[in-house]
Structure 1
Amino acid sequence: MLSPPPKINGPYCVDNALDDLPAIKYAEYLFLNSNMVESEQYCLDIDSQKERLYVTSGYCLIQCLKAIMSYEDEDLQEANKHVKHGNNLAFKHRAPPAPLVSRIAGLVWENSAIGVGFIKSMTPVQRHAELLYAETFLSFRTMINIYLLLGRYLEVVDAEAAARAEALEDKSIDKDFRSGVELGVGASNLILSLMPDKLLAVAEIFGYRGNRDAGLSILMKAGGWVKGEKLPRVDAEEEGLRRTLADICLMCFHLVISTVTFRGVDLEMAETILDYNLKRYPNGVFFLIAQGRLFALRSQPKQAISSYTRALTAQTQYRSLHYISFWELAIANLALWEVGASLEQWHAQEREATWSKACYIYGAASCLLQIGGEGKEREARLEEAAALLDRIPGVVHKIAGKSIPIEKFVARKARKFASQGRHLLLPALELAYVFLAIDHAPRAILLEKILPVVEQALDTLKANESNIEKYESKAKRFWDDYCLAHFLEGVCWRFVTYPDKEAIITEEETTSRQINRVEAASRAQRALQQVIKHGFKIELDHYIVYHAHYELGRLYICMGDNEKARKHLDLVISGKPLEAVPALRKSQLMMRTTAVLEALDQGRESP
């Protein structure tokens, strides 16, 4: 356990700003080990006037996290106030700009007025202030420009040190500054690399390059990580202030962003980084949640639930952090097809969380409709679900006048429920697909719990296929239900046949549940082809057709038929309408399809 540094005495002096680094490292340790309130109070105790460069910036970070978790207007405004104050404080610590004449001359020949020369002329405090100014600046463009300049500065001084045969790195640059630059440059590269190719090509004209491999390498360098090695080459005594933040950034990429991209994703590396940090911060809520994500991606939802539950008990100070666990628990329980347990988590979020009330409400309503029941019990659940769905139009968020895609999706589902006599087919299973719970459901769950539910729905539809008018007399839409049921059947059989490449399948599961892969793949193929065949008859759920092409393309890749796979994936990404009405949720699908095609082009395996 890290001990608190000696108490700070005397008035604050700008020239001694870096003397506060041990204090902010201790505050960071408290925060990462789930002692959030103690960390926040420690910052206030040593800097009640909010005049110390690093302490103020650390306090800003805490306020930003609180605001992001709660998403309350009051918290967001408070965080914005603290960030502006932190940015102004960093600005006051920065080096004064060179005279205009010198800056103009610097455009013609190199001098100390602009660029790397200007950074070289700064004192250590001024360089740290420049870094903190970037970290607290609300303009992404300005932030990246500063990071790139500081990154070039490190490259130059390191090259000069190597030329002098001193070392591969300039030892005069402190680790705290270096880790901050590596975090900023690495994260910037990762973020830019997620942009569509056409948009990235435009960004590159202005000097912004999103090199994912370079970004990952720089972030790993901050922690001394080397692929294939279980321990870092940088220990806790030698690490920089932002080393753990770089580790968290890496875990976010491998465990969260990996849902929309494949290139660079390495779950083994994520596990190595996670194990190291869990030993350092055994009670760290962020690392326990990351552990749950790792289990979920490996199709181990039971173990994921255990980690998320531990995260709930690890800290009780910031209630808003519990909402992340509630969300993940709801999805993990859907992967186990424990719909009642998922309902409890949706209810908990619907009552308290504010990030997306529409999603939480729809999650609860879909589970209620899925559970159903008989007689009065069924009627009571139907009434409760109807009351919940009626609330959705009033809680949908808009950002810059635009609806969030997932909220637009659930809003349309709520309208569909009302328009077709309070009926939705397999709503919880459809939601499980949307949130990738089917992708990471264990094979036994798919075979024994989920597919029987789908087959029951298909039997009902087949019984009505000869008399569609009767089915639709109750305002139900036969072909919407028909295509949805076959789509979910196809997706389930696809993952039964070819589990996600990261899935851990036990020997017992392999031997006790042997399947005929050819037959199972054929069932998946036939089901998805039925969706494509009848997709033009869909009235509302047009997204199903696009996703059917995507899933069929992925299935063909698993079957080794890349030519057919490319045909379906190219249809998705072409932008051409695949049915009469444009579909919702296309942006995320486009990202995933692009990632699959990229993996296909490079001969790499995609999940």
Structure 2
Amino acid sequence: MDRSATQSLLAVPLCHARLSSLLSCRISDSMYHALIHATIVEMRAMMTFEHDDIINAGSTMKGAQAVCHRFRKKFTVVGKMSKPTGEGFTEDELHAEACYAECLLQRAALTFLQDESMVSFLKGGMKVRSSYMIYKELHQFTQSHDFHKGPNHSHLEGGVSLGIGAFNLTLSLFPPRILKLLEFAGFSGDKEYGLAQLQEGASSLNLRSLLCTMLLLCYYTFLTFILGTGDDDISEAERLIKPYLSRYPKGAIFLFFAGRIEEIKGNINKAISLFEDGCAAQQAWKQFHHMCYWELMWCFTYKRVWKMAYFYADLLSKESRWSKAMYVYMKAAFLSMLPPGEEHPFGDNEVELFRQVPSYKQKIAGKSPPTEKFAIRKARRYNSDTPRTLPVPVLEMMYMWNGFAMIEKDEALTQGVMETLLEAERKLHEGPVNEYSIDDSCVITLLKGLCFRNQGQIDRAEACFMHICSSEKHIHHDDYLVPNALLELSLMYIRLGRKEEAIRLLQRAKHNYKEYSMESRTQFRIHAALSRLKAMPEENDSL
């Protein structure tokens, strides 16, 4: 491997045009130039979600994989390659293994996006498994006494830390029933070990340190909230991003994560400012703006500024291909929150928008995203000549993205949401009874319970969650309510130190309810809560 080329790549600032020009001259003869160039092309494809970009990314990554393959050590055993063990490898050959594994993993991701067939899904799965096995072999070798550190060993170790860390962390998030199947295929996951590997990769000067940092930031600022309990310490994310913000104060991706951190801390106005700065920081990749638009939409939701939230949902519906059904649903939902008689932006009508939602359904990796299926099911209520209106569709979807954790630290935001819920409850009780009345009442009760919990009114929160559980036989459409009420009640008990009660509720939610809306997300959160309880000190058992 060309050491000077590696050092020059490390010195490159985060400028897309300059980086592309630097890489283009070496992509056919340097594994790292080829890999980084292909990664940039794939990032663009992931953001645009355009078919041509995905095809181009797949072709580019396949070419990068071929370049990496040329540098790999060749073994011939009855006409087949044996598994690499590290013994007798040159440093370049070890780097080639790490780069090849990374190419396999990225090609698998593109395979899942590009084709919905079972054959493609299996091919993608085989690439993932091959990548995982290479990383395991490399990790074992780099940790052994036989490993001789060459001049570029930090980049090799960074690549191994990235792969091992990403696999362990990702696999640890899966509920046991899924993990058992993955373990049968040779996978295993340890969250703490995965985090340690990624932190090790992020803390050293290597080509993957930024990627390790990004994965950690995604975990601390997104995964722990969307698929976890939302109680993790955000200080680690602040520590990780601080040096990057100091060096790149106008770096769009760093401004984005800084905004997300402030959002989690409940500093919504500061978060809005940072997301707006992130949009203004660069114009080369407009698709990056969509990430900021999504967060801005929710920030204005927390503030109950419905028209501004609608504005960002509208931008997403027109510019982003990621989930048009979700964006149109949110547009309709925001309009439904406006007071009667208030002028609607652009003359849009929420009933017409709700009716359009199913037409934008899409599939990723052969399946419709759960949030899209949830939105489509909810929107069906508007298909009849006399639509059955949703009481608080914005706040219900806000719950699905764990938004109530975002407003917990600002008492005024929680109180504002509670006022909206009380007004919706009043209208529901004053209106005619229909087949959705009990379901709608329970939706409002669940969200009120979350507000009471935020406000420290434990008895009232507990009463809300218990009311939903006692109404189970009368709930006909919103089947997600009872398991989620059990989950939220258990999370409250965990905070109170009532460990045994929390475990019973979580086990009930885990085993007694199947095939309900957003089940996978709820199961991920149940798994996270049980893992957290398992890690608690034994002396709390009697509480």
Where do 1:40-439 residues align within 5 Å? Answer: 40-44=20-24, 46-47=25-26, 50-100=28-78, 115-116=84-85, 119-137=86-104, 138=107, 139-156=127-144, 159-160=145-146, 170=149, 174-204=153-183, 207-224=186-203, 234=204, 239-259=205-225, 260-261=227-228, 265-374=232-341, 377=343, 384-419=349-384, 421=387, 423-439=389-405
Report the Cα offset of residue 178 of structure 1.
1.9
Cα deviation, residue 536, structure 1: 2.3
Give a deviation string over 1:535-569, Cα, whole Å, max 9, x none. 32223222122212211222233344334333322
Aligned residues: 514
Displacement of 1:382: 9.0
Relative distance call for 1:102 and 1:523 in structure 2 (3 A) is closer
Deviates more, 1:318-327 or 1:450-459: 450-459
Q: Which runs of 5+ in 1 are unaligned?
A: 1-15, 104-112, 162-168, 225-233, 465-469, 498-519
Q: 1:493 aligns with which of 427, 437, 452?
A: 452
> Following TM superposition, by how much is the alpha carbon of 1:208 offset from its aligned partner in structure 2, in angstroms?
3.0
Give the conservation status (yes or no) of the 8 Å contact 2:374–2:517.
yes
TM-score normalised over the length of structure 1:
0.79
Cα 1:202/1:360, change in 2 over 3 Å: closer
Distance 1:395 1:320 in 2: 19
2: CA distance between counterparts of 1:144 and 1:423? 48
* Aligned mates of 1:195, 1:490 — CA distance in 2: 27
Amino acid at match of 2:10: K
Partners of 2:91 and 2:41 in 1: CA distance: 27
Which of 586, 594, 603 aligns to 2:527? It is 594
- State yes or no: 1:483 paired with 2:449: no
AA aligned to 2:170 is I
- What residue in structure 1 maps to residue 16 of structure 2? 36
Q: Which stretch has the larger CA shift, 557-566 or 582-591?
A: 557-566
Amino acid paired to 1:551: E
**CA–CA distance in 2 between the matches of 1:172 and 1:24?**
16
The answer (yes or no) to whether the contact 2:229–2:528 under 8 Å persists in 1 is yes
Q: SS where residue 355 of structure 1 aligns?
A: coil
Does the CA-based 8 Å contact 1:358-1:395 persist in structure 2?
Answer: yes
| Partner in structure 2 of residue 517 of structure 1 | none
After superposition, the Cα gap between the structure-2 partners of 1:240 and 1:550, relative to the gap in structure 1 and judged at 3 Å, is same
Alpha carbons 1:223, 1:244 under 8 Å: kept:
yes
What is the TM-score normalised by the length of structure 2? 0.88
Distance of aligned partners of 1:153 and 1:81 in 2 relative to their CA distance in 1, 3 Å threshold = same
Residues 151-204 of structure 1, C-alpha deviations (whole Å, 9 max, x = no match): 111111xx357xxxxxxx846552222211221122122122223324434544
Q: Deviations over 1:410-458 (max 9, x none)?
A: 0011102334525111111112212222221144334542111111222
Name the CA shift for 1:367/1:526 in 2 (closer, same or farther; >3 Å): same
User: Whole-Å Cα distance in 2 between the matches of residues 295 and 206 of structure 1?
Assistant: 40
Cα 1:206–1:295, aligned 2, differ >3 Å: closer, same or farther? same
In the TM superposition, residue 265 of structure 1 has moved relative to its aligned partner by 4.8
Decide whether aligned partners of structure 1 residues 182 and 563 sit closer, same or farther in structure 2, where only a CA change above 3 A counts. closer
Instruction: Name the counterpart of 2:117.
Output: none
Quote the Cα distance in structure 1 between the aligned partners of 2:263 and 2:7: 37
Partner SS, residue 90 of structure 1: helix
Contact 1:253/1:265 (CA < 8 Å) preserved in 2? no
CA drift of 1:329 comes to 1.0
8 Å CA contact 2:449–2:461 kept in 1: the answer is yes
| Alpha-carbon distance change, 451 to 130 in structure 1, aligned in 2, over 3 angstroms | same
**Is the CA contact (8 Å cut-off) linking 2:483 and 2:513 kept in structure 1?**
no
Tell me: CA distance 1:245–1:401, structure 2 relative to 1, closer, same or farther (3 Å): closer
Distance 1:595 1:448 in 2: 28
* Distance of 2:83 and 2:291 partners within structure 1: 44
For 1:488, what is the secondary structure of its paired residue? helix
Counterpart residue number, 2:124: none
Which of 1, 5, 10 is equivalent to 1:25? Answer: 10
**Which whole-Å CA distance do the structure 1 matches of 2:80 and 2:47 have between them?**
46
Q: In percent, how many aligned pairs have the same letter?
A: 25
Structure 1: distance between partners of 2:413 and 2:315: 26
Residue 119 of structure 2 aligns with which residue?
A: none
The offset of 1:18, in angstroms, is 4.7
CA distance in 2, matches of 1:344, 1:549: 35
Give the conservation status (yes or no) of the 8 Å contact 1:486–1:527: yes
- What's the CA shift for 1:255? 1.5
Larger Rg: 1
Say which of 485, 508, 511 aligns to 1:548: 485
Contact 2:414–2:454, Cα closer than 8 Å, also in 1? no
Aligned partner of 2:518 in structure 1 is 585
- Cα offset, 1:82, TM superposition: 0.3
Give SS of 1:178's match. helix
* Alignment CA distance shift 1:202-1:430 (3 Å): closer
Q: CA RMSD in A?
A: 2.6
CA shift in 2, pair 1:478/1:566, >3 Å: same
Q: Structure 1 residue 534 and structure 2 residue 499: aligned?
A: no
Q: For the residues of structure 1 that align with 2:357 and 2:430, how far apart are their CA atoms?
A: 33
| Runs of 5+ consecutive residues of structure 2 not aligned to the other structure | 108-126
Alignment partner of 1:471 is 2:438: no
2:110 alignment counterpart = none
Give the conservation status (yes or no) of the 8 Å contact 2:45–2:54: yes
Deviation at 1:281, TM superposition (A): 2.3
Deviation of the 1:115 alpha carbon: 4.2
- Distance in structure 2 (CA, Å) of the matches to 1:404 and 1:263: 22
How far the C-alpha of 1:262 sits from its partner, in A, is 5.6
Aligned counterparts of 2:298 and 2:230: Cα–Cα separation in 1: 25
Assess if the C-alpha contact under 8 Å between 1:405 and 1:584 holds in 2: yes
